[in-house]
Structure 1
Amino acid sequence: MVLDGIFGNKTASKVLLHLFHYNEIHSAAIANDYGVAVTPIRMQLERFEKASILVAKNVGRTRVFSFNQKSPFVKPIKAILEIFYNSLTIEEKEKIFSTRRRPREKGKPIYGRT
């Protein structure tokens, strides 16, 4: 992936791309989507937090990360991510971002169950 060369490694690219798509995310969600261990994802999120690219908040026992809107580096990083994101086909986006992150609407049926 071209982002690996820009951001230095695959883990950094995956973290930033997922944040761009979902706006906020936790390490286990990224790890599950890519089928990788949580530890390197969490470590990368923490590195970006130390660099003030990301901010975190606790939601229960989970740390949820999002872009730090006060950082002067976030806007150019998001611009790079947007170029890459817009170059992906719908099939590629569905493959990468297949996990639902929002709660189901109240009263919406769960398909496949009776």
Structure 2
Amino acid sequence: MRPQEQINYIELPAADLAATKQFYTGVFGWVFADYGPDYIAFANSGLDGGFYRSTLTSKVAAGAALVVLYSKDLAGCEKRIVQAGGNIVKPVFSFPGGRRFHFTDPHGNELAVWSEQ
């Protein structure tokens, strides 16, 4: 039974679904399933979700929610993101409880990664 009234799924835009799959699989190990030409679902991410074909992007400055991922190795994760074509848009900074940075994926969606260290 699924928990009631809790966040269950998240969807993000992406113009190039093949490149999106390659980025998130390579950097984070997510697993994808294709649902037609305009939608891919992901799993093995902590919270399941999907990407729908769109030229729009999800950015905090535009009012979008920020998806925050966790990594035990913040520096290693940052390096993998950059090597895979992502951009660091907010360098590592401290906050109560840990440190984090923000990045954009190759499509331009903004996400963050945090760690206790």
Q: Fold match, TM over 0.5?
A: no
More helix by share: 1
More strand by share: 2
**Structure whose CA Rg is larger:** 1
